[in-house]
Chains A and B, each alone.
Chain A
Amino acid sequence: MKKQVLCLTIGLAVASSAGIAALSVTGAGATFPYPIYSKWFNEYHKLHGDIDINYQSIGSGGGIKNVTDGTVDFGASDGPMNDQQIADYKQKHGFEILHFPTVLGAVVPSYNIPGVTAELNFTPEALAGIYLGKITKWNDPAIADANKGVNLPANDIVVVHRSDGSGTTYCWVDYLSKVSPEWKQKVGVSTSVNWPVGLGGSKNEGVSGLVKQTPNSLGYVELIFAIQNKLPYGKVRNTSGTFVKADLATVTAAASGAAKNMPADFRVSITNAPGKEAYPISTFTWLLVPSQIKDPAKKTAIREFLTWMLGPGQKMATALDYAELPAPVVAQEKKALAKVQ
Chain B
Amino acid sequence: MRQSTLGKKVVNYTMFALTGACVIFAVGVLFFILGYLVYNGGKSLSISFFTQLPAPVGETGGGMANAILGSGKVLLLATAIGIPVGFLGGVYLSEYSQHTSAFVIRYVTDLLNGVPSIVIGIVVYGLVVARMGHYSTFAGGVALGIMMIPISVRSTDEFLHAVPQSLREASLALGAPKWKTIVRVVIPAAMRGIISGTMLDLARVAGETAPLLFTALGNQFWSSGWNAPTATLPVMIYNYATGPYDDWHRQAWAAGFVLLTLVLLINVTARLALSRGTYVPRG
Contacts and interface: CB of A to CB of B under 8 A. Distances in A.
A18 B224 contact: yes
Given A11-B76, A71-B133, A212-B244, 13 more contacts: A12-B76, A15-B72, A16-B226, A18-B224, A19-B221, A20-B224, A24-B223, A38-B220, A39-B57, A52-B222, A54-B220, A71-B134, A209-B244
Interface in B74-113: 76
A12 B73 CA distance: 8
A266 interface: no
A232 interface: no
B178 to A, nearest CB: 23
A28 B222 contact: no
Given A38-B56, A38-B57, A70-B133, A52 B221 contact: yes
B129 A71 contact: yes
B220 A26 contact: no
A35 interface: yes
Interface stretch (A79-87, A117-125, A130-138, A221-229): A221-229
Interface of B: 56-58, 69, 72-73, 76, 129-130, 133-135, 217-226, 228-229, 239, 242-245
Contacts of A228: 58, 244-245
Interface string A28-47: 10000011001101100100
B112 to A, nearest CB: 25
Interface centre among B57, B69, B222 (most CB of A within 10 A): B57
Nearest to A202: B242
16 contacts: A16-B225, A18-B69, A21-B224, A22-B222, A24-B224, A26-B135, A38-B57, A39-B57, A41-B220, A56-B217, A56-B219, A201-B242, A205-B239, A205-B245, A209-B243, A224-B58
A35 B56 contact: yes
A54 B221 contact: yes
A38 B222 CA distance: 15
B244 A19 contact: no
A284 interface: no
Contact of A209 (B133, B223, B242): B242
Interface string A68-104: 0111100000000000000000000000000000000
A26 B224 contact: no
